[in-house]
Amino acid sequence: MIKNALTVESLKPADSCVIWLHGLGADRTDFEPVARMLQPQLPTTRFILPQAPTQAVTINGGYEMPSWYDILAIAPGKRSINSEQLENSTQQLINLMEQQRDSGISPSRLFLAGFSQGGAVVLHTAFLRWNEVLGGVMAMSTYAPTFEQVSALNPLQAQTPTLCMHGVHDPVVPLFMGQAVQQQLNSWGVPVTWHDYPMEHAVCPEQITDIGNWLSAQLS
């Protein structure tokens, strides 16, 4: 279950929200500095930073760490994953989304963001499980382990603006895996913006600037 989400409350009364999922082995505080950097530009946006459960990860020798789902094996361009754990994380994310909707945030001003494994959960949720228009999706240094399960999106899912970002030198999730996400979304008619950066599996200042500008444009 997603527990102990960290909330970075908006500087002014909130009318939008970004739910931001961290990567494998990280924690909810990873993107807190980024959220606070974005606040002056997005004063009415609330940021919610959930914490993944600590559980065994097969590819890391069964070592327990924060993870949204177990990764059973890695092959070129492919991740074998625990689908049940992915669905559990997806449902907890949907619960958070519904809480924000019920508190008065329109789904059209609700954004899902995720880095690496968190991004995979976000992509699965937004395009395979959530059936309302979203404000947008930010997919950072990530991949889509479940896109092959569907051949087409429903019209509301296909309207979701998506920002795909990736490091050119990423050794963890290779660039081509991020490009495959962009290409599949494009084939479904999703409005996609792509940025790549001269970095590895990380976040860089230029990227944070691009995120702020993209969110501002979606919310304007």
Catalytically annotated residues:
116, 170, 201
- Looking at residue 118, its amino acid is G
| Closest-CA residue to 42 (of 193, 218, 203) | 218
Q: Are 134 and 108 in contact (CB under 8 A)?
A: yes
Helix 83-102 and helix 117-124: axis angle, to 10°? 70
CA distances in angstroms from 84 to 39, 97, 103, listed in the order given: 35, 20, 29
CA 142 to chain centre: 8
Kindly list the distances between the CA atom of residue 103 and the CA atoms of 43, 44, 176, in Å, as whole numbers in the listed order: 18, 14, 39
Asked whether the beta carbons of 124 and 146 are under 8 A apart, the reply is yes
